[in-house]
Structure 1
Amino acid sequence: MTSDSTLLVTGASGHLGRQVIEALLAAGAGKVIGTTRDPAKLADLAAKGAEIRHADFDEPGTLANAFVGADRMLLISTDALGTDGRRLAQHRAAIQAAVAAGVNHIVYLSAPAPYPTPEPSLIGDHYWTEQAIAASGVDFTFLRDHLYTDLLVYSLPHAIETGTLYTATGTGGRSYVTREDCARTAAAALAKATGKSALDVTGPAPLTQDEVAALASEISGRPVKHVAVPAEGLRQGLTAAGLPAGLVEGLVAFDVAAAEGFHAITTTVVKDWTGQEPQSVRDFLLENRAALAPKG
């Protein structure tokens, strides 16, 4: 993965950003820069050879210095999941600063089947960010990461405890992919991708929620049944659970997209870029069996 370019990763203190930098350093990718609001959180990566810089996407003035000298950038979508347009504004400011700094290739972590929405939304933000990067004139790679397998560790314990997994996916499948596989793919694309492309980053095969429930039953030893609910029912349930409105809408939209078949795509992108097959949902859940224990 050796690269003569200076590689920059935004959001480096997040779960995925940290894994990308670790993968780059382990592969001897060359000069690696990580940006974060709190550089102190990445002292360990600095000790391993990464250059850590302060960047706050809510303060666009910090981005020019943070991006200077970078040839290629991985733009990790921010955690501003509200419906106020803040996230897209952050992304647009980062793209503008990257181009001004001389970045010649932007790798962007997007989502499957992005599309414009009437109001700001999680999926709409991805669509318009892709459009802004394409319009910037630099080369790009859009990595449309499918739903992280890791998220099942948060949703399945409650389903195992209650015996019921509620979703609005109907009979649609999802090609779950682990965050680690996405990170390794992003690191490879950041170091080596050329031209302009959009790639779906998926696991080995799509699973329906009936199949996910069956796996949860097998691994936990407790019966779990999937119950399909309408989108509005899921929205009400997530809202009642106290989730922020922007996240609720994003989760509902993802379920609806899965029900419509947009999450059942399977590609060889992970193996093509990393040389390794993506991990299956079953193997991931077996590795994380202890985390599936009901919290109550």
Structure 2
Amino acid sequence: MRIVINTPSGNVGRLVTDQLLQTKEEVVIISRHPEKVANLVAHGASLMEGSIDDPSVLDRALNGADTLYWATPTIPHPDYHNWSARAAQTAAEAVKRHEVKRVVVLSTWGAQHGPGAGPVGVHLAIETAFQAAAPHVTILRAAIFMEDFVTIPSALNHIGMIAAQGTIFGPFDPAKKVPIVAARDVGEKVVEALLDTRWSGFRITGIHGPEDLDFSSMARIIGEGIGRPVKYVQMPLDQVKQGLLDAGMPGSFVEYIMEMYTEQAAGRADPAEPRSTETTTRTSLLEFSREVIKPAVEVASMRMNEAV
């Protein structure tokens, strides 16, 4: 089976590619930056160099393909919504042109609401584009990623704030419960869908992590995992906005992010898919905190001490 991966250097895409390369399937990856995926090529992946919104690149990658994995990268593009929708539509047209039978799309919680929720809002159009292009399409709507506590380089700067003040700042009500999931569990669900040829038609499923947690509980669990108290403090949306601007994020993208935060804070972007055995995954936030957040906080603390 020939499987095409459009985001092989992403948090989930790299995990998916690594796992598929351990099987007997043919793995094709699309990337504009060969240096970022050199190790994947060394382990057997075929590289189609170029952009995921380039029809010629997609034609080369999807020629003879059985299955496509599509994830939309969250990048500070000045016209992110339209770019994301156009890229997905271009890929969907290539899928149809090359008669690719199966597509697995990584989407997000709250995608059902459509436009008006920032980066979340474009995913409904992406889902719809692929639904119309292939006979068998799986949409995986993932919850908040645990990795967001580590990787978001913004005003929220979670790792730095935990290291400096033992505090997590965010725009949400401390008592609001949301699903939260580890990228590795999302990757497992993606690989499962890519390799299982028994399913047919169009289906949507959530990936919800082991349990829904409120933000105060998340902070407490992270504190337990790193071995020091951590608290959650809600920030007014205007302060979040200014912090993003101060961090150097382009103004148009800041407005887009704020639209997402506003909708999520108001509860208008909650998951449509009920929690079930199928949507519940295994990695707990406590386990993730011990394995990932704790080392990151220790590095941040060491750098702060060296700077004094």
The TM-score, its normalising length taken from structure 2, stands at 0.82
Partner of 1:274: none
> In structure 1, what residue type is equivalent to 2:110?
A
User: Quick one: distance in 2 between partners of 1:148 and 1:237?
Assistant: 21
* Counterpart among 253, 256, 261 of residue 249 in structure 1: 256
How far is the alpha carbon of 1:116 from its aligned partner?
A: 2.1
* Correspondence list, 1:49-88, <5 A: 49-84=44-79, 85-88=82-85
Structure 2: gaps spanning 5 or more residues: 152-156
Structure 1: gaps spanning 5 or more residues: 272-276
* Correspondence list, 1:124-273, <5 A: 124-154=121-151, 155-160=157-162, 161-170=164-173, 171-192=175-196, 193-244=199-250, 245-246=252-253, 249-250=256-257, 253-254=260-261, 256-257=263-264, 260=267, 262=270, 266-269=275-278
Q: SS of the counterpart of 2:13?
A: helix
How far is the alpha carbon of 1:97 from its aligned partner?
A: 1.2
How far is the alpha carbon of 1:62 from its aligned partner?
A: 2.0
User: Quick one: distance in 2 between partners of 1:57 and 1:113?
Assistant: 24
Change (3 A) 1:252 1:173: farther
Once the two structures are superposed, residues 66-119 of structure 1 have per-residue CA deviations (whole angstroms, 9 ceiling, x without a partner) of 21110110011134443512222111111111221221111111110112225x
CA contact (8 A) 2:223 2:229 kept: yes
User: Quick one: distance in 1 between partners of 2:33 and 2:169?
Assistant: 37
Give the aligned CA root-mean-square deviation in angstroms.
Answer: 2.6
How many matched pairs? Answer: 285
Partner of 2:154: none
Partner of 2:114: 116
Percent identity, aligned pairs only, is 26
* Correspondence list, 1:281-296, <5 A: 281-288=285-292, 289-293=294-298, 294-295=300-301, 296=304
> In structure 2, what residue type is equivalent to 1:112?
W
Change (3 A) 1:282 1:250: same
